[in-house]
């Protein structure tokens, strides 16, 4: 076979890709027909494809490249670590400096008494850890029947069997017989789509109280934990009403239910603070982390747990672990990422300077005839596409169609935005400049104009 490289013609790369590469969340036959977009390099917030087009990545990859693309320091950190100790495990009474340093750094950054990290290779793996951890925690305390985990419809927690069971995505449950037993889902705090005539505050409270009703129905003695994303990301950037999280916190404390904040998207600056839990005043017992931890430069995730949870877990052998738990190269890359985020005050600047600017521009999209609402918190935002602003109606036929049309129009206008049903979402690298924000919003507006003509 010829050497496969960036210099090959796009059509040849696409043909090889279609012949041998099975893509996630993709109908591979459709991909074979249309040809995959081939991304060859990236710098800052800009991707370059195999045809030489520059594309503004308003998704930071998959919500992860918080630091922006092309920072050589991370490549150098990986190289140094690969030369010194490319791999060793953290099982069986062994450790190494990158895992020590990263867990200590995370204890410093994480709020409250979240001082202990169990590493994984991804967010899905970390949430699988959480399932086994909370059940083991209660079993160690003499309550093995406390096994049920309550999560939310339309939440996303990963693609492994356990994490997809925590998630509330119906199409994911339909494939492979999910969820696994002892999972329970309650409604999401999605006022725009489901709140009807209620005020957002009333609705937020109502949805939070579904947790209390579920605990009472299932029995307090059977419920181990509640898991949720501070802001639902993949579900469409659903920002909860202000009443939601304080009520969830009250209920978890009242019934002694462990609270897991899935910070895989919200963590490391996305909502304008280091963690989404800080933005919403949540006091979790466990936080799931991944993505922004290494800005996507290396695969790594983890569960940061409180002193209380660690105290119980530390007394037993947790019969759980991944070959790549605390992988030294991934830890070294994550540490370098955190060093730069801190030293260059990237999270603080994103929250104090970029976020208000982006908010003002983004909210302007609500004036577009196709847009029912434009919401944003920090650097994660969404717009709802609607054929009728007044009734907040969804597009009738296939809820994904309008979003798909806008997404493709964005690509045609050199912009990556993602869609979830009728919602378009953004989550740009935290380093996006004000002029790049202007470009993002101009291109989004142009894509919406095109889609509006096509859909009306």
Helices 434-455 and 399-412 sit at what angle, rounded to 10 degrees?
130
How many alpha carbons fall within 13 Å on the CB side of residue 92?
3
Identify which of residues 290 and 402 has a Cβ nearer to ligand PLP in the complex.
Answer: 290
If the CB atoms of residues 64 and 205 are measured against ligand PLP, the closer one turns out to be: 64
CA 424 to chain centre: 15
Handedness of CA 264, 145, 208, 352 (dihedral sign): negative
Residue 385 and residue 406 in contact, taking contact as beta carbons nearer than 8 Å: yes
Encoded one letter per residue, x for contact with ligand PLP by CB under 6 A and - for no contact, window 53-92 reads ---------x------------------------------
Choose, by CB under 6 A, the member of 240, 301, 326, 372 that binds ligand PLP: 301
In degrees rounded to 5, what are phi and psi of residue 436?
Answer: -70, -35
x/- mask, ligand PLP, residues 252-291, rule CB under 6 A, reads ----------x-xx------------------------x-
> Where does this chain touch ligand PLP (CB under 6 A) — which range of 43-51, 226-234, 361-369, 384-392?
226-234
Residue number, 266 or 415, with CB nearest to ligand PLP: 266
Of 167 and 272, the one with the shorter C-beta distance to ligand PLP is 167
Decide: is 225 part of the binding site for ligand PLP (CB under 6 A).
no
From the list 155-163, 216-224, 329-337, 394-402, the region that binds ligand PLP by CB under 6 A is 155-163
* Smallest gap from residue 275 Cβ to ligand PLP (A): 13
302 lies in the site for ligand PLP, by CB under 6 A: no
Indicate whether 235 belongs to the interface with ligand PLP (CB under 6 A).
no
**Rounded least distance, CB 51 to ligand PLP, Å:** 28
Q: Which of 162, 233, 351, 378 binds ligand PLP (CB under 6 A)?
A: 233
Site for ligand PLP in 124-153 (CB under 6 A): 124, 127
Please give the biggest Cα pair distance in the chain: 64
Cβ of residue 288: shortest distance to ligand PLP, in angstroms? 6
Half-sphere exposure for 273 (CA within 13 Å, toward CB): 13
Count, residues near ligand PLP per rule CB under 6 A: 16
Q: Does residue 154 bind ligand PLP (CB under 6 A)?
A: no
**In the complex, least distance from residue 245 CB atom to ligand PLP, rounded to whole angstroms:** 16
Enter the DSSP assignment of 353.
I
DSSP class of 360: H
Question: CB nearest ligand PLP: which residue?
Answer: 123
Phi, psi of 89 (to 5 degrees): -90, 170
- Contact flag: residue 296 with ligand PLP (CB under 6 A): no
DSSP E strand boundaries for 168-245: 183-186, 223-228
CA torsion 221→151→227→98, rounded to 10°?
Answer: 120
In the bound state with ligand PLP, the residue whose beta carbon lies nearer, of 265 and 415, is: 265
Among 246, 302, 354, 291, which residue's Cα sits nearest to residue 114? 302
Of 13 and 58, the one with the shorter C-beta distance to ligand PLP is: 58
What are the b/e assignments for 261-274, b being 16+ CB within 10 Å?
bbbbbbbbbbbbbb
**Environment class of residue 107 by beta-carbon count within 10 Å: exposed (0-12), middle (13-18) or buried (19+)?**
middle
Q: What is the closest distance, in whole angstroms, from the C-beta atom of residue 229 to ligand PLP in the complex?
A: 5
Q: Which is nearer to ligand PLP, 204 or 292 (CB)?
A: 292
Q: Under a CB-based contact definition with an 8 Å cutoff, are residues 18 and 8 in contact?
A: no
Q: Give the separation between CA 451 and CA 369, rounded to whole angstroms.
A: 11
Dihedral, CA atoms, 112, 116, 121, 124, nearest 10 degrees? -50
Contacts with ligand PLP by CB under 6 A lie at 62, 122-124, 127, 156-158, 229, 233-234, 262, 264-265, 290, 301
């Amino acid at each position: 076979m010829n050497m496969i490289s960036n210099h090959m013609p796009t059509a040849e790369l696409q043909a090889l890709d279609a012949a041998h590469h099975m893509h996630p969340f993709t109908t591979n036959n459709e991909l074979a027909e249309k040809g995959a977009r081939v991304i060859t390099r990236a710098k800052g917030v800009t991707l370059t494809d195999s045809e030489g087009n520059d594309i503004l990545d308003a998704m930071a990859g998959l919500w992860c490249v918080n630091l922006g693309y092309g920072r050589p320091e991370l490549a150098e950190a990986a190289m140094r670590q690969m030369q010194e100790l490319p791999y060793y495990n953290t099982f069986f009474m062994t450790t190494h400096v990158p895992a020590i340093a990263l867990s200590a750094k995370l204890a410093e950054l994480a709020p409250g008494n979240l001082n202990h990290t169990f590493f994984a290779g991804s967010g899905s793996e970390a949430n699988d850890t959480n399932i086994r951890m909370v059940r083991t925690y209660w079993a160690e305390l003499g309550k093995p029947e406390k096994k049920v985990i309550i999560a939310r419809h339309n939440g996303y927690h990963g693609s492994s069997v356990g994490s997809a069971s925590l998630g509330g995505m119906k199409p994911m449950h339909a494939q492979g017989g999910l969820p696994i037993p002892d999972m329970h889902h309650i409604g999401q705090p999605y006022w725009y789509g489901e709140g009807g005539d209620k005020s957002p505050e009333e609705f937020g409270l109502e949805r939070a109280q579904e947790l209390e009703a579920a605990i009472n129905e299932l029995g307090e003695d059977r419920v181990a934990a509640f898991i949720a994303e501070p802001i639902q990301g993949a579900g469409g950037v659903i920002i909860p009403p202000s009443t939601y999280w304080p009520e969830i916190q009250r209920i978890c404390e009242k019934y002694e239910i462990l609270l897991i904040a899935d910070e895989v998207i919200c963590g490391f600056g996305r909502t304008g603070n280091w963690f989404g839990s800080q933005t919403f005043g949540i006091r979790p017992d466990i936080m799931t982390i991944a993505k922004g931890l290494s800005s996507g430069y290396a695969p790594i995730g983890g569960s940061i747990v409180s002193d209380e949870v660690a105290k119980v877990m530390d007394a037993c052998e947790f019969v759980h672990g991944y070959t790549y738990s605390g992988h030294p190269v991934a830890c070294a890359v994550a540490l370098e990422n955190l060093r730069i985020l801190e030293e260059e005050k990237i999270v603080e600047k994103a929250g104090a300077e970029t976020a208000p600017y982006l908010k003002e521009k983004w909210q302007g999209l609500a004036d577009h005839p196709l847009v029912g609402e434009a919401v944003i918190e920090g650097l994660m935002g969404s717009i709802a596409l609607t054929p009728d602003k007044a009734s907040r109606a969804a597009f009738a036929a296939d809820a994904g169609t309008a979003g798909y049309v806008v997404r493709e129009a964005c690509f045609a206008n050199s912009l990556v935005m993602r869609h979830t049903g009728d919602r378009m979402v953004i989550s740009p690298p935290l380093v996006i400049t004000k002029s790049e924000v202007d470009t993002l919003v101009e291109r989004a507006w142009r894509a919406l104009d095109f889609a509006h003509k096509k859909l009306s």
